[in-house]
Amino acid sequence: MINYKSEQYLVSFVMGALISLASLLTPFSAHALALADIELHSALNQPLHATIPLSATKDELGLLEVGLASKKTFQRTGIQRHKILDSLIIELIKNDQSSHIKITSKRLIQEPMLEFVLSINSGNGRMLRSYSVFLSPQ
C-alpha cells in the first residue's frame, strides 16, 4: 500500500530524474565557443601561415575579438613573448559553413619553435589558449 508521503517522494524522484535527463539532452549555448588545434600551412624560413578552426554560435561570432594576449598574461603563463610575435597578423574569418582564426606573419619565421597565447573575447567572457608550433624545414 502506498501512502501519501511515499507517493510524494515517488513523484519528486521521477520529476527530478526527468529534469536531469532533459538537461543532459539540451545543448549548452554558453559553452558553444570552442577552438580546435592549430593547423600549420608553412615551414621554417617562410612567413607564418596557420589556421585555427573554431565553432561558435552566430551571436558569439558577431561579438568575438581575437588577438595576442597581453604581456602580463604571457608572464603569468610562463611563455616568453618574443619580438617576432609583434609581426603576427591575427584575423577572425567568418564563413557560413565554417569559421576560423587566420594567423600570418609579416616576416620570415626563422625559429623552429613558436609559442604564443591567444586572447578571445566574447559577449560571455574571455578565453585564453596557448599554442606551440614546430616549423620544420621544407
pTM score of the predicted model: 0.74
Enter the CATH code of domain 31-134: 2.60.40.10
Provide the residue ranges of all domains of the chain, joining segments of one domain with +: 31-134
The answer to whether 20 and 12 are in contact (CB under 8 A) is: no
Q: What are phi and psi of 34, to 5 degrees?
A: -145, 140
pLDDT confidence of residue 18: 47
Q: What is the pLDDT along the chain (138 residues), one digit of tens a residue?
A: 555 555 555 555 555 444 544 444 544 444 468 899 999 999 999 999 999 999 888 888 888 999 999 999 999 999 999 999 999 999 999 887 789 999 999 899 999 999 999 999 987 788 999 999 999 987
| Region for 125 from its dihedrals, namely left if φ exceeds 0, alpha if ψ lies in -120 to 50, beta otherwise | left
Q: DSSP letter string over 69-117?
A: PPHHHHHHHT----GGGGGEEEEEE--SS-EEEEEEEEEEE-SSEEEEE
